[in-house]
Structure 1
Amino acid sequence: MKHIFIFGTRPEAIKMAPLIKAFQKDPSQDIVVCVTGQHKEMLDQVLQFFDISPDYDLQLMGKNQTLYDITAKALLGLKPILEKESPDNIIVQGDTTTAFVGALAGFYEKMKVSHIEAGLRSGSIMSPYPEEGNRILAGHLANMHFAPTTRAVDNLKKEGIINNVYNVGNTVIDALLLGLELIEKKGQDEYETFFREIDLNKKLVLVTGHRRESFGKPFEDMCKAMRDLASNYPQIELVYPVHLNPNVRNTVNNILSGLPNINLIEPLSYPHLIWLMNKSYFVLTDSGGIQEEAPALGKPVLVMRDVTERQEGIEAGTAKLVGTDYNKIVTECEKLLNDVEYYQSMANAVNPYGDGTTSQQVLEIVKTL
């Protein structure tokens, strides 16, 4: 059986990597890997770390390109590849433009499409944008739906998607465990040297923030909360790998530069990110995947978004929504720093996103087709 894996961003690559490795180990499965290059450098870092070589690279990355550009170029680029390879199954992941276009191309070619991480819903079509729209569209074009949680299964049912729906957990946990295993085998020295400017003896607060719906005053409020937190708590070390988007960089540099315990660093490779996450005390983020990864390491997560499609973490107590509100961010960070019992309640909550066996489950299900 021939499968073509289509992805284009770093988060997709991370979540596809353990799946690709599982399929590659099975001699009965024929694997083709196609990347769109929606992200370039960050994507290549992940592929290199997990030792994955694409068979096709559409190299879509371009300056100032819009969603129109990415969608049109990806769709036209996939057409000859699908016609040549004629796969039995197209595998897309998550909620990127690449995932949506991959599903749409499969639909146009009347090919089966498997959607990994299916059924996530925030309930607001504009938040996160365009991801919520992408995953809804991909879900309704796909033939097989690999949902990470019971809630995701229920979300699909509400939209009339009831056939070939499987609750398998999330491959992001597989990737995290595999990644830390690879790091352990290669040794810690490289990472300790890389982060030598950071005081690893302090309580590390890892920050990631880049959502376009927060640009403007909401993003400024987020940064002001981080600034004042660092000023009031010199015993913490706030580490912020700053996204390359100028809308992020300009605001972050204007508000957060110059404080001795705020480290504004370049975007991290996946292995460096998970190493640092493993060393952190808690995480401030607007990222989707980190809401799943950090709890697997016992790290509380404060989510700087108004809504999240990963509601299971909120309900399980591994994560808490703080939005972009200055007071909420500061208050919740202070509770984690000052209230040990409160911290432990989040750190010890059971992660609802899987146990590291998702990739093998997907493989076994697909083999029954």
Structure 2
Amino acid sequence: MKFVIGTRPEAIKLAPVVLALRALHLPVRVCLTGQHPEMAGAALAPFGIEADVDLGLMRPGQSLAELTQRAVSALALRLAYKQPAWVIVQGDTTSALAGAIAARQLGIPVAHVEAGLRSFDLTQPYPEELNRTLIARLATLHFAPTPGAEANLRAEGVPGKAIEVTGNTVVDALHQTLQALPPPPRRRRRLILATLHRRENRETAFPEIIDALAVIASRGDVDVLLPRHPGCPPEIYKPLEACPTARLVPPMPYPAFVAALAAAHLIITDSGGIQEEASALGIPTLIARALTERPEVVEAGTALIVDTVRDSILAAATRLLDDDDAHRSMAKASTRIGDGKAAERIARRLYDELHGARRPAA
């Protein structure tokens, strides 16, 4: 079985699946595309996983179309040389789409982890919504994290026998990482953890979000922690750089990030994966987007969509910081995203498929 991994989130979410398959004594190989140079490999390291190959496909100024073309070609060569029984991709990245295309062109079945998420708007998030809908047309097995994701796939005509609801593997990764962490230190001020990286928001929305974070940091009774994303222009962070209670850091190793996540009083993010992790931990989360393809976190009450408008973000954050009842009402851990056993379910289904207990769906 071959895993195609391009980004840090893919690495984190697929690491438990790699370990679960190895526990069943199945041969596993991990191929990095280099979409997140160094970050994906570093995310695998805490799980004791090393990539078998890194294609190193990123180039300065490379367009999405160029990356997709080069990734499909490079992966097709690798897969044709020694064809695996299955190719496993995760989520909605360009690497995942390229892996699915290359595999199906060679007649190799594709297992799609975190299948069925939909925003129903191809521009939000971009290109992720486009990628995941295309992967759904290519996948042989669809590992849906929630019943809602399963319903989306069924509505698109995917047969039920090709879908398995597993929970989200990010919860597996989160729990495994938390178990290895020491108790968190006591903090003098409440921690607000923020993350920003959405491609479609960088030009227009980021200045408003950053400005809102700067105002929040100026309160003096909170610390704002914001890991810089390598895809974001450095100048967008300037309003925060002068704030003494704001800390801008390089991308954090996953264990350190999980420690910060668990210690946070409030999260402000445009990330999908962090919505899931925060919901599993019961950390109130403000989603700096117009919509989310993870409605379960909003339904669970742990997250609130605040859009990308400065005043909307400020109003929601201020309420959660100043109103203890409002904060408590959102600070409830939920299992709607997963129970920590998703990787085990995925590995068992793939084992059954490989050994003929079930035949792959067409």
Please confirm whether the aligned pair reaches a TM-score higher than 0.5, indicating the same fold.
Answer: yes
Q: SS of 1:118's equivalent?
A: coil
Distance 1:86 1:246 in 2: 37
Higher mean Cα deviation, 55-64 or 12-21? 55-64
> Which residue of structure 2 aligns with residue 244 of structure 1?
230
CA distance, structure 2, for counterparts of residue 342 and residue 260 of structure 1: 27
Q: Does structure 2 conserve the Cα–Cα contact (< 8 Å) formed by 1:292 and 1:351?
A: no
The code of the aligned residue for 1:354 comes to G
Name the Cα RMSD after superposition: 1.5
Q: CA deviation at 1:87?
A: 1.3
Deviation readout 1:192-220 (Å, 9 max, x if unpaired): 7xxxxxx9321000000121211234211
Q: CA deviation at 1:62?
A: 2.2
* Residues 109-163 of structure 1 deviation map (CA, whole Å, 9 limit, x = unaligned): 1111000000000110011000000000011100100000111001111111124
Count of residues paired in the alignment: 352
Distance in 2, Cα, partners of 1:310 & 1:136: 15
Instruction: Give distance in 1, aligned partners of 2:146 and 2:52.
Output: 32
Q: Is structure 2 residue 221 aligned with structure 1 residue 235?
A: yes
Paired position in structure 1 for 2:359: none
Map of 2:332 onto structure 1: 348
Which residue of structure 1 lines up, in the alignment, with residue 299 of structure 2?
Answer: 315
* Aligned equivalents of 2:333, 2:176: Cα separation in 1: 22
What is the CA–CA distance in structure 2 between the aligned matches of 1:267 and 1:213, rounded to whole Å? 20
Aligned partners of 1:63, 1:51: CA distance in 2, in Å? 30
Partners of 2:67 and 2:204 in 1: CA distance: 28
Confirm or deny that 1:13 pairs with 2:11: yes
1:211 corresponds, among 191, 198, 210, to: 198
Whole-angstrom CA distance in 1 between matches of 2:32 and 2:180: 23
Identity of aligned residues (%): 39
Looking at structure 1, the residues matched to 166 and 232 of structure 2 have their Cα atoms a distance apart, in angstroms, of 38
TM-score, normalised by the number of residues in structure 1: 0.92
Does structure 2 conserve the Cα–Cα contact (< 8 Å) formed by 1:301 and 1:318?
yes
In structure 2, runs of 5+ residues without a counterpart are: 354-362
Contact 2:283 2:333 in 1 (8 A): no
Say which of 351, 356, 359 aligns to 1:367. 351
Structure 1, gaps ≥5 residues long: 193-198
Aligned mate of 2:111, from 114, 127, 144: 114
Residues 237-283 of structure 1, C-alpha deviations (whole Å, 9 max, x = no match): 11111112343x21112x21211111122221211111111111110
Offset at residue 16 of structure 1 (A): 0.5
Task: Say whether residues 1:305 and 2:303 are aligned partners.
Answer: no
1:223 shift after superposition? 1.2
In 1, distance between residues paired with 2:150 and 2:76?
Answer: 31
Looking at structure 2, the residues matched to 161 and 31 of structure 1 have their Cα atoms a distance apart, in angstroms, of: 27
- Equivalent-residue separation in structure 1 for 2:62 and 2:253 (angstroms): 23
Tell me, in whole angstroms, the C-alpha distance in 1 between the residues paired with 2:312 and 2:333. 21
Partner of 1:75: 72
Q: Tell me, what secondary structure is at the counterpart of 2:24? A: coil
Residue type matched to 1:240 in 2? L
Match runs of 1:16-165 below 5 Å: 16-27=14-25, 29-163=26-160, 164-165=162-163
Structure 2 length-normalised TM:
0.94
Q: Distance in 2 between matches of 1:201 and 1:26?
A: 46
- The whole-number CA distance in structure 1 between the counterparts of 2:136 and 2:3 is 16
Alpha-carbon deviations, 1:92-124, whole Å to 9, x = none?
A: 000000100111111101111000000000110
Aligned to 2:275: 291
User: Which residue of 2 is the match for residue 195 of structure 1?
Assistant: none
Task: Give the deviation of 1:360 after TM superposition.
Answer: 0.4
- Matched residue type, 1:245: G
The structure-2 alpha-carbon separation of the partners of 1:226 and 1:68, relative to structure 1 and needing over 3 Å to count, comes to same
Question: Bigger shift: 292-301 or 114-123?
Answer: 292-301
